A and B are shown apart, each in its own frame.
Chain A
């Protein structure tokens, strides 16, 4: 029996290889995920270990006096100890400013984790080591000077006092760790603690690393450090090894979640591969009906036939899983090689696979293949011995659409759809994501309904579309339309394989589009201004702060010329006293009054809702200012007073997110005739890269004013872009992962088509004899492939949009009202991709069919 199985496998090698590729891709996915997980964990372990180099004891989350360091250093078990401190410091050079984390260099040589890539380590106060990123941004070189700016709040002072320290760049920081939080710059401990003190940091420390004296057990050293006491309630005192283990555990939690997510995608890919396998074996069994019947005639038992098919599936599964494992390993190795050449990411160039990541892909691939072959194996046992005696011919494999199937499908669809709606509603009504579990369950259940019902509705859809196409196309199209529904079950399975992948991609695209559109609106409200030049108006106590810094006269014109800057608006501002018109003059609170032209503001702001109603005679009062001013209501008459002049305006209380009242320029001039321009709002053009424009704006200001920074530039556009980039990147990654499932489904389409070619060899030969040209024969198969794949893609796109909407509603419906948009361009691309996949899949089978000479086929 085994010999027979092997012979049959050899005969159908091409077919089995095509099916095996599907399993291989799925297994490679699983293997690559597990191996990447191994790799990341090993990298993290190495990286965390590096960041605790030489540390035998680590104190974290401490709240201890700085004097504790000296106490630890005096311990006999301790060779050296250093405080771990990192402080964000503003560094200024040539008008540019960055605020990196500055860490202190360990004084104990064994505990030093930083190295200088060029130059040297800071040895005395006044020296600093900077990361490559920072020197690029600040355009600094080794040997240049940089200014550290801190603001000190003196007791009782209304405004902070700026302090400046000149530092010399002595070297470039060597990149060390890929994952642990590392400082961007390193200075001597005394500089770091002084900067910390200037910024109001109390004389305390939060962490400590200790190098034990020679011959002292880390555990003893830990106990000695713990015994010093006064570390604070939350403090954790661990040996170095324990700390590394704890940190790695914390970091890899996230990786495990990621791996679980990736494995979910791999499961989808394997499921699709399973469908392809089922299809292939169904046809192999159908093709071998005569052989199987003959075997039954000469005495083979049903059990032997079933075992034969399952053995074949097992061998196929094992071999393709092995190939998949190797592919996954190669893939991860190549990626690791590429990344390890990329100097910022210290990844080991080779993967050390764990037993699990080798065995699991093999077992899963094998199990999927054998399970998928179960139903075809059962079909093999149903072949009656008499079948061998009948003449060979197109046997009717037509399966009747069962009522049970229809009922089950409709039932699942109804339950799933109901759960989807419930999920979305729950989230939206409860302002939470509580509806998510119901929504997910609904999605899975209804999709199961779709897959089960696919055998009923997919052939009908194919028939319908094919019929329409046939009316306009020639004979090849009509032939293709008729051929595509000749074996409804096979067409349905093939289409379904593609449908799964396309549905998921369409769902992700739609979900992302809805979330982007919705959060865009939310972002507009939160970040109405792309770029702000000038200081934010200080709070109500600003009277003492003196005059506001005006925007230099040369700036607006220079900035407006920067590429990427679109609309802009200028704001003038002055301090005024705000009081109810009915109150006595001179009473009321101080406030900043800003003036802007309403039309310019509308053009520049992404969401000008807070300025609604701004007009001559009106003062827009932000809700918070209204509250601070006391009992100020919408519609009240309000008096603005400054320097003996005053104007009475009608208050309009809005949700504007600034701490200033807003009027039109003319109204402000009537109180403060010479109010300076203190702020400029910019709106970036749609295609501009926020970070680049922001740098260019700063550059333009430096050039225009001829000096270092005079007024601050705040770019919320960058945050906004970062958020959108995050969503887009995620979408891209997910789409890439699901593309694997689509590729596998394509293998399925090609498989089905080549089976059709084999089954219809005589028919094709007859058509060729009757005058069907080779080209027409190829077109026939191409149209059939495009029909099967196109319908799968079409159904997938429609389903994906619905799932995307429901999913987005369940995820974000609680926070915002979702905008139900459709990413039409992407979906059209997906649909075109599906049809193209069908066309491509038909290429090889069609070649083969067209090459067969009519005589040879007729002679069979």
Chain B
């Protein structure tokens, strides 16, 4: 376990290694203008490695959701660059961004966001159909079967979201995020609406998909227990990078957060 003292980010993070999945350089995001302008991100340089579960943590208003939105191409940056692999997102048009999200990025939301009128299976395959796939190819079908088995959804596929528990709904959402084998999955407070047991299950699934399926996952949370499932925790405060924790435990994360408050 290595702890970095909260403060300036270490220099190693500023260059992208061959295994970097997503990277931000000098990322700034300002909402509004003039005297009412709010700086949500103030020059963030950060990289997320492939096949790792990285958690972004920070107190409310630290800019962690904004960072995720910018990294995922949901929101535009005021300044700086975002790279997904070799693609610079900050240069893309809305339409290209949409296609990029469809093909290369997956999402898991706090409130599941399943379509109530579709069955679990239809919800899972939605991203493929959005991309225009009429029938599932052999490999896609195998992948779907793997996901269903891994997430334990076998007997719930023909149910609608209203007939599923919260944990089951979130597992369906995870399957939906993974179905197109995206380069990176962003999970925004995925356990926020779940009890601790279901939350633990969901986090375990996320970690398994990293370990066993080689998936890259970026997790945004304010829960130290959730963050402890990650390989690495990136700490954010006042729109700036405030340190990182490798191989975190709930205790080390809490300590890191406390240190943040102490610095402020």
Contact = CB atoms under 8 A, between A and B. Distances in A.
Interface of A: 394, 474-475, 478-479, 482-483, 486, 762-763, 766-776, 853-855, 858-859
A758 B72 CA distance: 24
Contacts of A766: 107, 109, 113
Contact of A475 (B75, B116, B129, B188): B129
B137 interface: no
Contacts of B118: 482
A767 B176 CA distance: 12
9 contacts: A475-B130, A483-B117, A763-B113, A763-B115, A770-B102, A770-B107, A771-B102, A772-B130, A854-B74
Contact of B129 (A474, A482, A763, A774): A474
Contacts of A763: 113, 115
Contact of A774 (B69, B72, B95, B101): B95
Contacts of B72: 769
B199 interface: no
B98 interface: yes
Interface in B134-190: 176, 188
A776 B130 contact: yes
A583 B113 CA distance: 104
Interface string B93-126: 0110011011100010101010111100000001
A486 B115 CA distance: 11
A768 B129 contact: no
B126 A475 contact: yes
Given A475-B126, A770-B107, A855 B98 contact: no
Contacts of A479: 115
B127 interface: yes
Given A482-B117, A771-B127, A773-B95, 20 more contacts: A475-B129, A478-B129, A479-B115, A482-B115, A486-B116, A762-B111, A762-B113, A763-B113, A766-B113, A768-B98, A770-B102, A770-B127, A771-B98, A771-B102, A772-B102, A772-B130, A774-B94, A775-B95, A853-B75, A858-B188
A776 to B, nearest CB: 7
B109 A858 contact: yes
A855 B101 CA distance: 13
Nearest to A482: B117
Contacts of B126: 475, 770
A855 B75 contact: yes
A769 B74 contact: yes
Given A474-B132, A855-B69, A773 B115 contact: no
Which 5 pairs between the two chains have the least Cβ-Cβ distance?
Answer: A771-B102, A766-B113, A482-B117, A855-B75, A475-B129
A769 B129 contact: no
A771 B113 contact: no
A772 B109 contact: no
Given A474-B129, A475-B126, A475-B130, A769 B117 contact: no
Interface residues of B, number: 28
A770 B130 CA distance: 8
Name, among A763, A768, A770, A853, the residue most crowded by chain B CB atoms within 10 Å (CB to CB). A770
Interface of B: 65, 69, 72, 74-75, 94-95, 98-99, 101-103, 107, 109, 111, 113, 115-118, 126-127, 129-132, 176, 188
Contact of A771 (B65, B111, B117, B130): B130
A475 B123 CA distance: 11
Contacts of A773: 95, 98-99
A141 B103 CA distance: 84
B238 to A, nearest CB: 19
Given A486-B117, A769-B107, A773-B95, A855 B102 contact: no
A486 B102 CA distance: 26
A474 B132 CA distance: 7
Contacts of A858: 74, 109, 188
B78 to A, nearest CB: 14
Contacts of A394: 116
Nearest to A775: B95
Contacts of A475: 126, 129-130
Nearest to A853: B75
Contacts of B132: 474
A767 B101 CA distance: 11
A766 to B, nearest CB: 4
Nearest to A483: B117
Nearest to B102: A771
Contacts of A770: 101-102, 107, 126-127, 130, 176
A855 B115 contact: no
A836 B107 CA distance: 36
A780 to B, nearest CB: 11
Contacts of A775: 95
Nearest to A770: B127
Contacts of B98: 768, 771-774
Nearest to B76: A853
A493 to B, nearest CB: 20
A774 B94 CA distance: 9
Nearest to B131: A771
Contacts of A776: 130
A558 B164 CA distance: 88
A859 to B, nearest CB: 8
Given A770-B101, A770-B102, A855 B107 contact: no
Contacts of A762: 111, 113
A486 B161 CA distance: 14
Nearest to B115: A763
B263 to A, nearest CB: 28
A766 B102 CA distance: 12
A556 B107 CA distance: 87
A772 B130 CA distance: 6
A859 B69 CA distance: 11
A776 B130 CA distance: 9
B114 to A, nearest CB: 9
A773 B127 CA distance: 12
A770 B118 CA distance: 15
Contacts of B116: 394, 486
B139 to A, nearest CB: 20
A474 B134 CA distance: 8
Contacts of A853: 74-75
A854 to B, nearest CB: 5
Nearest to A774: B94
A511 to B, nearest CB: 41
Nearest to B65: A859
Contacts of B69: 855
A773 B132 CA distance: 12
A568 B176 CA distance: 78
Nearest to A854: B74
A776 B132 CA distance: 11
A855 B72 CA distance: 10
Nearest to A481: B117
A572 B193 CA distance: 101
Contacts of A474: 129, 132
A773 B129 CA distance: 13
Name, among B98, B102, B188, the residue most crowded by chain A CB atoms within 10 Å (CB to CB). B98
Nearest to A858: B109
B87 to A, nearest CB: 15
Contacts of B101: 769-771
